[in-house]
Amino acid sequence: MPVLNERDYLARAVETVLTQDVDAPIELIIALAPSTDGTSELAATLATGDPRIVLVDNPEADIPVGLNIAIRASRYPTIVRVDAHSELEPGYTRRALQTLSRVGAANVGGVMRADGRTPFQRAVARAYNSRIGLGGGAYHGGAAEGDAESAYLGVMRRAVLDEVGLFDESIRRGEDWELNLRIRRAGYRVWFDPTLSVTYWPRESWARLARQFFATGRWRGELVRRYGLVNSLRFFAPPALVIDAAAAAVVAVLQLTGVLTGIPALLASIVHLPVLAYLVLLVVVAAGPGGGAGWRDKAWTLAVLPTMHFAWGTGFLIGLIRGADDTVDTSRIGDRNTPLP
């Protein structure tokens, strides 16, 4: 479990890990990054109360670095990746181990079920759980059981991780997708099991959400630079939306100022159609079922979806053109005292 500034979520996440009904010895290795909100002190208290908790330092604060440090410190042949912003459902680990054995997979993952405690966070969760929000990946949309491109978190065979080389520490976002690509290229199976469920608590504020998705999008652009069309086509939808919206804005200015008139203006109006369709889709999703029932939840959905798509799409285009450089997800750093919306 890599951890940075997670005091509000850590205790519950640890509890759901240590109460898994597994007929085998377990340990929870927490890779502690330099937190500023008391997370490290809380982790030390939790470790004092349970010898199964092992603390290791992750001074660089990067997730793949912390994961590798924790994996190398582990003693057992199965690695269960967990997250401080997530809660494992009862029986998760036991069922995952059974699935690993049943299908002969190297990595098994399940469904990310996002949830929220405020109207804003519930709106983000609603977007996460929607095929519109994150593009319909198996662990977001709940597809049928079977071979998968990647796995959310993942229950993995340690021997396979050692064989393919653990997480790539040069990749700060999307490291799980890249690891699963190497696992599949080595001839092993990555498997999706919809009976496995993990509750995920999204970012708590608009600024945090935007920073998270910009960083994630920029790293996806970097992964496209490295691996090309091995990346799923769904990853190209947000940047296509950003490009079309920018083109529509330029055409609208030219039309309103009279620079573009007549048949050329009519033909150029085609660029407005995807934007109009997207706006209609936003309204339909916001007004539809799911998430909280209150009007604030629905209103936040209208803001959350385009924030996710445009921040991710803009980051993607920059990453595709310039690479990710040293881009980090700063949504876990600073403004911890910002009131929840």
Tell me: do 192 and 124 sit in the same domain: yes
The b-or-e profile of 53-91 (16+ CB within 10 A means b, else e) is bebeebeebbbbbbbbbbbeebeeebbbbbbbbbbbbee
Q: Provide the token pair at 245.
A: 């919206």
Tell me: do 179 and 301 sit in the same domain: no
Q: Tell me how crowded residue 147 is: count the other CB atoms within 10 A of its CB.
A: 12
Distance CA 315, CA 238 (A): 10
- Note whether residue 7 is domain-resident: yes
- Note whether residue 209 is domain-resident: no
Q: Provide the token pair at 184.
A: 């599949």
pLDDT in tens, 206-246: 999 999 999 999 999 999 999 988 888 889 999 999 999 99
- Note whether residue 309 is domain-resident: yes
Tell me: do 190 and 257 sit in the same domain: no
Distance CA 305, CA 57 (A): 36
Task: Tell me the mean pLDDT in the region 195-203.
Answer: 93
Distance CA 86, CA 10 (A): 9
Contact 26, 52 (CB under 8 A): yes
Which SS3 state, helix, strand or coil, does residue 36 take? coil
Tell me: do 315 and 259 sit in the same domain: yes
Distance CA 129, CA 318 (A): 27
Q: Provide the token pair at 203.
A: 């970012």
User: Which of these, 126, 116, 178, lies nearest to 150 by C-alpha position?
Assistant: 178
Tell me: do 179 and 98 sit in the same domain: yes
Distance CA 127, CA 287 (A): 13
pLDDT in tens, 39-97: 999 999 999 999 999 999 999 889 999 999 999 999 999 999 999 999 999 999 999 99
Residue type, position 235, single letter: F
Distance CA 5, CA 199 (A): 19
Distance CA 82, CA 80 (A): 6
Tell me: do 248 and 297 sit in the same domain: yes
What integer pLDDT is reported at residue 336 of this predicted model?
39
Last residue of a domain, one of 204, 235, 265: 204
Per-residue pLDDT band for 339 (boundaries 50, 70, 90) equals: very low
Tell me: do 234 and 121 sit in the same domain: no
Task: Tell me the mean pLDDT in the region 323-336.
Answer: 75
- DSSP for 83-145, please give it: -TTEEEPTTHHHHHHHHHHHHT-SEEEEEEEE--SSHHHHHHHHHHHSHHHH---HHHHT--S
Q: How far is CA 232 from the centre of its chain?
A: 15
Number of domains in the chain: 2
- Note whether residue 335 is domain-resident: no
Read off the DSSP letter of residue 341. -
pLDDT in tens, 156-183: 999 999 999 999 999 999 999 999 999 9
Domain that holds residue 320: 224-328
User: Which of these, 73, 100, 107, lies nearest to 2 by C-alpha position?
Assistant: 73
Tell me: do 25 and 151 sit in the same domain: yes
Tell me: do 200 and 232 sit in the same domain: no
- Note whether residue 50 is domain-resident: yes
Task: Tell me the mean pLDDT in the region 300-320.
Answer: 96
What integer pLDDT is reported at residue 288 of this predicted model?
80
Last residue of a domain, one of 170, 204, 238: 204
Query: Could you tell me the pTM of the whole model?
Result: 0.89
- CATH number, domain at 11? 3.90.550.10
- Note whether residue 215 is domain-resident: no
Tell me: do 198 and 248 sit in the same domain: no
Last residue of a domain, one of 146, 171, 204: 204
Tell me: do 193 and 102 sit in the same domain: yes
Tell me: do 85 and 140 sit in the same domain: yes
- Note whether residue 336 is domain-resident: no
- Note whether residue 338 is domain-resident: no
